[in-house]
Structures are given as C-alpha cells and as structure tokens.
Amino acid sequence: MAKSALKLTDESLLGQPITLNNCDREPIHIPGLIQPYGFLLCLDEQSRRVVQASANTLTLLGMAPETLIGAGLGTLLEPEQLVEVERVWTKLGPDGRLLGIRLGRVTGQPAYKLILHRYDGLLWVEGEPVADTSVSAIDLPALNVSLGRLLTAESVLECCQVTAQQVRAITGFDRVAIYRFAPDDSGEVIAEDVREDLPPWLGMHYPATDIPKQARAMYLKNWLRFIPNARYAPVPLVPTVVPGASRPPDMTYSVLRSVSPIHLEYLHNLGSEATMTISLIQEGRLWGMVTCHHQSPRLVSYELRDLCQFLGKTVSALLKSKEQQDEQAYRLRIREAQVRLFDLVATQTNFMDGLHRFTPNLLDVLDCGGAAICFGGEIITMGHTPKPRQIEEVVEWLRDNNSNDVFVTDSYAQLNPAGKAIRGTASGILAVALAREAGEYILWFRPEQLQTVTWAGRNEKNQTTADGQIFLSPRQSFEAWKQTVEETSAPWLPLEIEAAKEIRLHISDIRLKVFNELQAKALNLARLNAELERSNDELDSFAYVASHDLKEPLRGIHNYSLFLLEDYADQLDAEGVSKLQTLVRLSQRMESLIESLLQLSRVGRVELALDAVNLNDALADILDLLHPRLEQTQTTVTVPSPLPTVRGSRTSIHEVFNNLLTNALRYNNHVKKQVTIGVAPPEIRGPKGTGNPTDFTVIYVQDNGIGIDPKHHENIFKIFKRLHAQDKYGGGTGAGLAIARKMVEKHGGELWVDSTIGKGATFYFSIPNNL
C-alpha cells in the first residue's frame, strides 16, 4: 500500500525518488488523493455542481463518481437539507463546518456527517462516518476542570502535561505526546500521557527533517490532521485534474486529504496505526505539536477532534504567558543563587573561596554541566569539565582570539578545531574575563547535544525498495539531523549571559575594593615605616650625642670626687668620706651605662664591614681575653668540633661571643662551670625561620648555670633589663644581650635562648654562611 502511494507521489515529482534532499519539495497539499474512510465532493462555487468526486463513492454511497459529476447535492439531500446547506455556504471560509445531517436520498448506507468548507474556488463537501469508538460524549465538567488547570499552571511543562492528559481522556488514544520545536526545528517530547504497558517517549528528540517545510506550512494553516488507519490505500479524485486546470485542487484544509507516503512509512516504523496531530502556534510560528498515536486503527468523531483543536488553540494562546512565567522563575532562581553566592564571597577572607567551596557555587547559578575558575595561577573545577590542561588551552585561545570581557558560543569546535577534543563536556562555553592579560577567567561549560539526547528512531535500520532506492525512515532522518547538531550544545539564554556579566562586575568591584584597601594599608604602612625609621634615626642620634656629651662632665665629677678623697679625707668625718665613696661608685656605674648606650646606638648607626670570619679564630681571641676570669671561676669551655667560616663583621662577632661567654661565667653558681660552643643541627631554626643550612649557620653557647624562666626569655634582651639585684652575680649594666642581639640582627640573623630555671641556658645565634 505504501509503495503505490509512493509511486503516485513520485509521479507528482516528475519521477524523482523521494530523498532527504527533495522531500521538502513534495507537493503534499495537492495529492489528488483522499483517505478512504470517507468521501469527497468538490463543487463549482458558482454553479453548485459537482466537478470532482472521490473514486470510492460507489462503495460508500452506492453512486459512481461519474454519476455524481455534473449533478448537484440534491442527488444526496432532501430539499429542506439543501436549504440548510445553502445558508452555510454564504458564511464559509477555509475552516471546516460540521453539519449533523443525514444524506436523505441515500438509503441502506452507514450514517455520515457532512463537513463543509470553501477554498481554492471550490465548495468542499466531505462525508465522514459516525465514529463507533467508546469515547464519544464530551465530559464538560471534566473539561472545565482541565481548563482551570491550564490557566493556573505555573510552567510550560505543567501546562503541556495537563493538555496531554486531557486530550488522551477525550480521544482514548494509547499515547498522547507533546513536543516542542528548538530553534533548528528539531523537537523534544516535553509531556506525555501513555498507556502503562508502552515505553515512554518523554525526553526523546525528533529531527527537523521528520516534518518537512511544506508540512510545517500546512500545520500553520490547518490546526489538526487525523489519520484513523495508517495502513490505508489512498483513493484518487475523479478526475484528478478538472479539465482546463493545471493541477489537482489544493487540499490544505481538507479533512480527508491523503498524507505523504513518507509520513505513512514513518508511522509504520513507530508502530502507530492511527494518529492525530494538533498544532501549537505562537505568534504565527509553529511552537510544537500535540501528537496522538494508537496501535490499532481508531476513528475519533469530528466533534471530539474539534474539542481537541479548541484545547490546542487555548494552549497556544497561553504559551507566551507560561514561557514568561518559566523565564521569570529561572531568573528568580538565578537571582537568589547570585545573592547567596555574593554573600559567601563577601564573608570569605579569600573572596575566591566563596565562588566554589560552599553551596550555592558557580555551578548552581546557571544550568550547565560544569564550571571552572582560572585565577592566581590556579584552576578550580566544578561538575563535568575538560581537564585542567585543556582548560588552560581554552583560556590561551580566548586571550588570543577574544578581546571582549564576555565570550559566548554553543559550538566552540566550530571556532577552534582543538575544541573537538572537549566537545563531550564543553561544546558550549560561556566565559567572563576577570583579568584577560593574566589569563584569569570564570567559565561555564555545556556538553554536546548528542551526548545528552535520546532519539525515538535511533535504533531503526535503513530500508530499501526492490529497485535499490533507500526508503526514508526515522533512522535516516536522525543521521541527517545529527550532522547539523554535532559539536553543538544547547544555546545560552540572554538572561544567563546577563547573569554571568553581573557576576563578573561583582567580582571586579570586590577586587577593586580589596586593591584600594591594600593600597591604603600599604601607604599607611609606608608612612609608619618612614616615621619609625626617622624616629629610630633620631633616637640613635640622640643616644649617641647624649652619651658622648655626658661622658665629659661625668668624668669630671668622678675625678673631682677622687681628688676630694685623696686631699681632704683627713678633714672629713666618716660619714662624709662614705658619701664621697658612694659618689665615685655611682659615677663609675653611670659611665658604664652611658658607654653601653653609646655602644648600642653605634651598632644601629655604623654600617658593617663584612668579611669572611673564621669562627674558630674569633672564639680563640675572646677566650684568650677572658683567660684570667676563666681560671678564676674554674670554667671549662668545650668546642666539640671545628666551627665554620661565616660572612660577617669580625668586631661584632667578637662582641657577641664576649657577651654570651661573660653571661655564662656570671650567672652560674656551680663551683666548676661548663660552657659548650658548637654548630647547632640543621633542624634548629630561629623564631623567624633563619637557620636554613644553605643560607645561615646557627651557633649555640650552652652553660650549666642558673637558667632562665621561659616567661623572661624576651625580657632579658631588653636594654638595662635585669632579673636580679644589681649587687648579685657580679653586677653588670643589663645591656650586653640587647647589644648582642642588635649586632646579630644587623647581619640578618637572630639571637634567642632556650632555658629553664636550674638547668642552664643555651643561647643560639644565626649568622650568614660565607657564600
């Protein structure tokens, strides 16, 4: 049956085989054929005489088409019925009008309903038998509830699902599916009501080639197309072309018009024996289709089909508002995610953490497969993304090929051939530049559509006719569609692009704020450092001048006190002599303090003369200087292994050794005192980290003295700070450790102590190696 239909259609295409390349040119609006479940009469608009009749009138009406041609409707209708038809003629247009009248002059035949319309200079009379399906009555209360649900539906999907359920309830079809067209005219099933034992189609896709261009044009004109038996043999018009005409009549609005044999073959491959489609039209554009399928032939009455068409038109009128609701809901979801994301960004010390470490993150803001942050030399990924190296290559390409702050594509591979390797995760890319030259971007990725869609006919095999011609099938149309969408993702919506821009601007504002704060802190710190340096310079200058200028009058006081004791002691009583002796002692101590202050200020003022210093020689010089005291105090100094050569000031290093050894001798109450001097192991580090074996040598001076409470470990390095009375442990000014630390720090090293009371003390100092 399909072959004969194909042959007739081939003749209308001048013998060309129907292929994917020319099926868009098949003249399906003028087939000269009808479906055989009814009959068709075409009447001249002026004479009201039949000029064409379907070849099956003899079977259905008992009258041959040749008998009807040239006759009026009075051959079939009673006079009063003719009057009723004439009243209708004057108001008719392309839309069909049902007349519930019987053919009064036809006896012994099934009951038919007449459907009338006016088009292409003809009056069309189509006879359709009364349906014998179980579903025949209109359930108005249920319809009222459904219309209410359509009006209150909060989304396009909900609205379409209600429609699918209601159309199936009205018609009794096994399956009612609604699919929406994409910008490339392919379709996706977005709602379905199906018999429980049948596999679902929800989410499946249909290529654009499944509905040729001329079929789309007819769906825009004629809202409903019905095929009660897809295995029918088409019936021709007699004659096919009226004498004097150049073509068969235009059957665009005919209920019985025979469909393309390609479409019938398509239905066979889908396992559909009866079908009905209702157009969903938005602002003159075919938005989608309500498609009904049954696994056996099914005749649904014109009245119920008309009701389904009413539902289709109602849904079409609601589509724009439902899409606006969907867009607003998505916009609101994006906005809420943005607000929460911005709050997280604002509360993190590192604002980038707020973009990926919590929920919501960048992946939650937009509908996408994955996202990535390229910032500060790092690549942070979320969801399904290309590998880090591949993302780096994308960023490099963006830097070289895109000068804008925002980049959008749904087919990166078409712009950059290297994109083929990542099309599974990143056919579509939406990127915003944070710092383009530095390669800092935020990117969102969408996978290739072919990775995410299921197609209804994908497993169908190609079919061929006996003469070797490939017969069109769902599989073939899928392959054609596949070529148009490979390496392409779902498109990015304008509101998604706007959201990405807002995120970029927000991050730019935060970065600018952080930069300004850092600038302010840097300026403030620079000012404080300058003030501190000036203050230190002034303090050093004051200490130097004060100590230098004070030494001369103090020396005079000391000398004159000695003169008085030598020359006038015999003229003073004991109390006077004692006071002069005290004055001499105090002046000596004052001179020691001034000398210490002068030495400390000199350390800060004088630049070091650095040289290679052999620590063994430096230590030997100090031990030779202290030899008398070492013998007097019974102190043993041990050096376990030779000391290294370092880079420093010989004088300063002498002073450090002298201070540390003097303290080791002084603060020791053992009869036999022990001091060990050596190189600390590599793991010993100063509080500030000096002691790296490649940069610094750490020297230790360890004694078995009285020890120091840890709470005083820092206090002992403060100038003139003493932890005991002046007359204990040999006196001292309390400036030695302060001077030693400043000398070590002048070298870039550190001086610190490790000690507890009663267990001796170990002083460490780090000094640069001789590099």
pLDDT at 145: 81
Residue with tokens 């209109």: 138
**What value does the mean pLDDT take over residues 471-485?**
53
Angle 750-756-761 from CA coordinates, rounded to 5°: 50
Question: Using omega within 30 degrees of 0 as the cis cutoff, is the peptide bond preceding 417 cis?
Answer: no
pLDDT at 560: 66
Q: What is the pLDDT of residues 584-634, one digit of tens each?
A: 666 665 665 555 555 555 555 556 667 888 999 989 988 988 888 888 888
pLDDT at 208: 76
pLDDT at 266: 80
Answer yes or no: are the C-beta atoms of 260 and 209 closer than 8 Å.
no
**What value does the mean pLDDT take over residues 57-72?**
92
pLDDT at 52: 95
Higher pLDDT among residues 746 and 638, named by residue: 638
**Which stretch of 62-71, 313-322, 362-371, 516-525 has the lowest confidence by average pLDDT?**
516-525
CATH number of 33-129: 3.30.450.20
Residues 6+ apart with CB under 8 A from 649: 608, 609, 610, 611, 613, 743, 746, 747
Where in the sequence of the chain do the CATH 3.30.450.20 domains occur? 33-129
CATH number of 493-606: 1.10.287
- What are the start-end ranges of the H helices in 358-473? 362-365, 388-401, 412-415, 423-426
pLDDT at 464: 44
Task: Answer whether 0.75 is exceeded by the pTM.
Answer: no
Where in the sequence of the chain do the CATH 3.30.450.270 domains occur? 369-488
Residue 166 has pLDDT above 90, yes or no: yes
**Which stretch of 75-84, 132-141, 307-316, 744-753 has the lowest confidence by average pLDDT?**
132-141
Position 195 confidence tier, pLDDT thresholds 50, 70, 90 = very high
Answer yes or no: are the C-beta atoms of 442 and 434 closer than 8 Å.
yes
pLDDT at 480: 52
Position 734 confidence tier, pLDDT thresholds 50, 70, 90 = low
% pLDDT > 70, the chain: 78
Where in the sequence of the chain do the CATH 3.30.450.40 domains occur? 2-29+134-237+252-327
Residue 370 has pLDDT above 50, yes or no: yes
Provide the 10 A C-beta neighbour count for residue 213.
13
Position 458 confidence tier, pLDDT thresholds 50, 70, 90 = very low
**What value does the mean pLDDT take over residues 19-30?**
58
CATH number of 609-768: 3.30.565.10
Answer yes or no: are the C-beta atoms of 233 and 1 closer than 8 Å.
yes
Tell me the pLDDT of the chain averaged across its residues: 81
Residue 478 has pLDDT above 70, yes or no: no
Q: Which of 115, 126, 119, 123 has the alpha carbon at shortest distance from 46? A: 123
Where in the sequence of the chain do the CATH 3.30.565.10 domains occur? 609-768
Q: What is the pLDDT of residues 649-706, one digit of tens each?
A: 888 888 889 888 988 888 888 888 899 999 998 888 777 666 556 678 899 999 998 8
Q: Which two tokens stand for residue 301?
A: 């009455």
**What value does the mean pLDDT take over residues 7-23?**
41
**213-220: long-range pairs with CB below 8 Å, 24+:** 213/24, 214/24, 214/25, 214/26, 214/27, 214/28, 214/29, 215/28, 215/260, 215/263, 216/185, 216/286, 218/28, 218/29, 218/252, 219/277, 219/279, 219/286, 219/289, 220/279, 220/281, 220/284, 220/286
Higher pLDDT among residues 433 and 563, named by residue: 433
Residues 6+ apart with CB under 8 A from 372: 379, 380, 381, 382, 385, 391, 441, 442, 443, 445
**Which stretch of 186-200, 217-231, 337-351 has the lowest confidence by average pLDDT?**
337-351
Residue 720 has pLDDT above 60, yes or no: no
**What value does the mean pLDDT take over residues 172-185?**
91
Q: What is the pLDDT of residues 376-398, one digit of tens each?
A: 889 999 999 999 999 999 999 99
Position 425 confidence tier, pLDDT thresholds 50, 70, 90 = very high
Residue 545 has pLDDT above 50, yes or no: yes
Answer yes or no: are the C-beta atoms of 409 and 429 closer than 8 Å.
yes
Tell me if the domain spanning 369-488 has CATH number 3.40.1210.10.
no
Q: Which two tokens stand for residue 683?
A: 């793991």
pLDDT at 131: 64
pLDDT at 137: 58
Residue 462 has pLDDT above 60, yes or no: no
| Domain 2-29+134-237+252-327 architecture | 2-Layer Sandwich (3.30)
Position 763 confidence tier, pLDDT thresholds 50, 70, 90 = very high
Residue 672 DSSP class: S
